[in-house]
Structure 1
Amino acid sequence: MSEIPPIRLAELTTLQTGAAPERMVDAATGDELVAALREVWAAGEDWFVLGGGSNLFAGDLTFEGTVIRIRTSGIERLPSPHPGRVRVRVQAGHDWDALVAYTVAEGLAGIEAMSGIPGTVGAAPVQNVGAYGQEIQETLVEVELVDESTGEVTTVPAAELGLGFRTSVLKHHYGSVPQRRAVILSVTLDLAEVGEQGRIVRGEQLRRALELDHDGPVPLDWVRERILATRAAKGMVLDAADPDTRSAGSFFQNAIVSESVARALPAQCPRWPVAPDLDAVTVIPLEVYDGQVPPPRQESSDVKVSAAWLIENAGIRRGFTLPQSRAGVSTKHALALTNRGGATAGEIAELARFIQSRVHAEFGLLLQPEPVLVGVDL
């Protein structure tokens, strides 16, 4: 690892806010990353790791601690125990979209719908990244991580990460701490080997995004091209010439509510069921087992509702700005808050609070921020 002169976080994050931290360290290998983390943990310093900077909203004041930049990269191809599949182990600092491009070129299916998502591979399991109905949990096998509590490096199966809608036990949600404080070193995915013929697209959300009108297989590179074009039209593919891409992506999470709350919303509000676990295990103590297995309980599922629809129908239109502010809602997508040029973190936070208040007043729901907030309060 190497200590470097601190760089302004505004230069390292896609939202382009944040002062230079007190101290900054680069870690180019897994061993360097582990050593840097153990050093700051032993010293009891404040710290955070920085990958692509695409999911970070940093404040205007100096972060009084150490920022560790994850600069690792590399893809290792491994055999899969499942016929017709291949595993890839990827270093945490590897660019996510570069990984997607590699898998598409190699004819490996499973993450092609997540083309164009900015950031690094190590951040992907933390918030269970997904797009158009495809999520990393569908292909994630395990992660290698280092725990803050012990400093030990362990390999953790995906099943132990508590993966849910844009969450995991590793995620730092606004207003809370992660259930498990650890840093991912590498990620292993299990992908289908489909070659040039591609695969049949079954998910309704992805079929709609691709405008598919047939049930045959489609090439992976065609899917990637269509997804990149769709995301670019929403300002969700980084482009230095497009101020709408100076954002942290979707600033607010889609709201997860009960069916009763969803029914109280206007019928026009887009919604999607959050499917219950149909494979849940029923454990019956041996001493009370009478030879009969009770039927599964019919529990109502939660519902995901569109935060973008809630924002626009609370009167916040695309391109909206507060008076005298350099922060604004994207002109292409209501969920993205953008830096229109030189905006401070305070200006963006003010806009975020205004949107939260309007949605809460109109629909009774408090939208939660998606990015990790450092030195900022909403």
Structure 2
Amino acid sequence: MTTSPSFADLTTIGVGGRIARFEQPTSRVGIIEAVEDADGKGVPLCVIGGGSNMLVADADFDGIVVRDARQEIVVLDEAAPVEGGDTTVHISADAGTNWDDLVAFSIQIGLEGIEGLSGIPGTVGASVVQNIGAYGQEVATSVFAVEVWDRESKVVRTLSSEDMGFGYRTSALKRSMYASAGNVAGQRNPFFPTPRYVVLSVSFALRHSDTGVVAFDQLARALRVDIG
């Protein structure tokens, strides 16, 4: 019999109680089925990414923890620059993709837009829930669309950047875990501790460029360049 890991095994801070059941699906259908299984049984569901933004109690978690094992990145447009035309390129990544792997991939093929977010731990799916940011960039500025599983309506939806309601280190997804707009931990809704919308994949609109744009004074000084 396989023993489920504890949250201490899955989080970067290394604390947290034992988990009743742990699932790591390798397909899109598998992710949806795991979420539906938890919701159908009425047990707590916790969908995690890299475990880098979690401080978990030592008490046992009597529910299902799901971690997306998919890591595919796809270029949706022509990767080569279009002469005299739009330099935008759309790429899509599974929610389980390591965030820094996506940044490295985009830089490798000459795309600009998320390079300032290199080094942030976690996954692509978690990046849009938290609206990660650093050095004058936020993921919100490059998100084109987010494919999610709607746990209430039980359908796959595609949310635009506007639908995501991004704010400073927050989004409509993050806010959907709580009963009030204030994100008060004691005011939870039935979806807690996972949003109503579970991220399946994210597509980004990036741009061809030989260089990135430095928009943060401290970073500009470190690189000895001018802002912009």
TM-score under structure 2 length normalisation? 0.85
- The question of whether the paired residues in 1 share the 8 Å contact of 2:216 and 2:227 is answered with no
User: How far does residue 211 in structure 1 lie from its aligned partner after superposition?
Assistant: 4.0
2:36 is the counterpart of 1:38 = yes
For residues 1-378 of structure 1, the aligned pairs below 5 Å read 5-79=3-77, 83-171=86-174, 172=177, 173-175=183-185, 176-177=187-188, 181-194=196-209, 197-201=210-214, 203-205=215-217, 207-208=219-220, 210-214=222-226
Q: Give the letter aligned to residue 153 of structure 1.
A: V
User: How far does residue 212 in structure 1 lie from its aligned partner after superposition?
Assistant: 3.2
- The question of whether the paired residues in 2 share the 8 Å contact of 1:113 and 1:206 is answered with no
Report how many aligned residue pairs link the two structures: 211
Q: Distance in 1 between matches of 2:60 and 2:88?
A: 47
Q: Distance in 2 between matches of 1:17 and 1:9?
A: 6
Q: Give the letter aligned to residue 164 of structure 2.
A: L
Q: Give the letter aligned to residue 127 of structure 2.
A: A
User: How far does residue 73 in structure 1 lie from its aligned partner after superposition?
Assistant: 1.1
User: How far does residue 189 in structure 1 lie from its aligned partner after superposition?
Assistant: 0.3
Q: Distance in 2 between matches of 1:4 and 1:120?
A: 25
Say what the alpha-carbon RMSD is for the aligned residues: 2.3
- The question of whether the paired residues in 2 share the 8 Å contact of 1:4 and 1:25 is answered with no
Distance 1:142 1:84, change over 3 A: same
Mark the structure with the bigger radius of gyration.
1
User: How far does residue 23 in structure 1 lie from its aligned partner after superposition?
Assistant: 1.3
- The question of whether the paired residues in 2 share the 8 Å contact of 1:125 and 1:136 is answered with yes
Structure 1 unmatched ranges of 5 or more: 217-378
User: How far does residue 30 in structure 1 lie from its aligned partner after superposition?
Assistant: 1.1
SS in structure 2 of the partner of residue 71 of structure 1: coil
Q: Distance in 2 between matches of 1:200 and 1:24?
A: 41
User: How far does residue 115 in structure 1 lie from its aligned partner after superposition?
Assistant: 0.6
Identical aligned pairs, as a percentage? Answer: 34
Q: Distance in 2 between matches of 1:177 and 1:90?
A: 30
- 1:51-74 per-position Cα deviation (integer Å, ceiling 9, x unaligned): 111111111010011111211110
User: How far does residue 206 in structure 1 lie from its aligned partner after superposition?
Assistant: 6.1
- The question of whether the paired residues in 2 share the 8 Å contact of 1:132 and 1:209 is answered with no
User: How far does residue 200 in structure 1 lie from its aligned partner after superposition?
Assistant: 4.3
Q: Distance in 1 between matches of 2:218 and 2:53?
A: 23
- The question of whether the paired residues in 2 share the 8 Å contact of 1:13 and 1:52 is answered with yes
Q: Distance in 1 between matches of 2:217 and 2:188?
A: 32
SS in structure 1 of the partner of residue 31 of structure 2: helix
User: How far does residue 28 in structure 1 lie from its aligned partner after superposition?
Assistant: 1.2
- 1:126-177 per-position Cα deviation (integer Å, ceiling 9, x unaligned): 0110001100111101100001102211111110111000001111445144
Structure 2 unmatched ranges of 5 or more: 178-182
- 1:182-235 per-position Cα deviation (integer Å, ceiling 9, x unaligned): 1000000000111xx31443x24464464433478xxxxxxxxxxxxxxxxxxx
SS in structure 2 of the partner of residue 79 of structure 1: coil
User: How far does residue 37 in structure 1 lie from its aligned partner after superposition?
Assistant: 0.7
- The question of whether the paired residues in 1 share the 8 Å contact of 2:4 and 2:19 is answered with yes
- The question of whether the paired residues in 1 share the 8 Å contact of 2:46 and 2:66 is answered with yes
- The question of whether the paired residues in 2 share the 8 Å contact of 1:4 and 1:26 is answered with no
Q: Distance in 2 between matches of 1:160 and 1:47?
A: 24
Q: Give the letter aligned to residue 204 of structure 2.
A: L
Q: Distance in 1 between matches of 2:33 and 2:51?
A: 22
SS in structure 2 of the partner of residue 33 of structure 1: helix
Distance 1:106 1:166, change over 3 A: same
More contact order relative to length (CA 8 Å, sep ≥ 6): 2
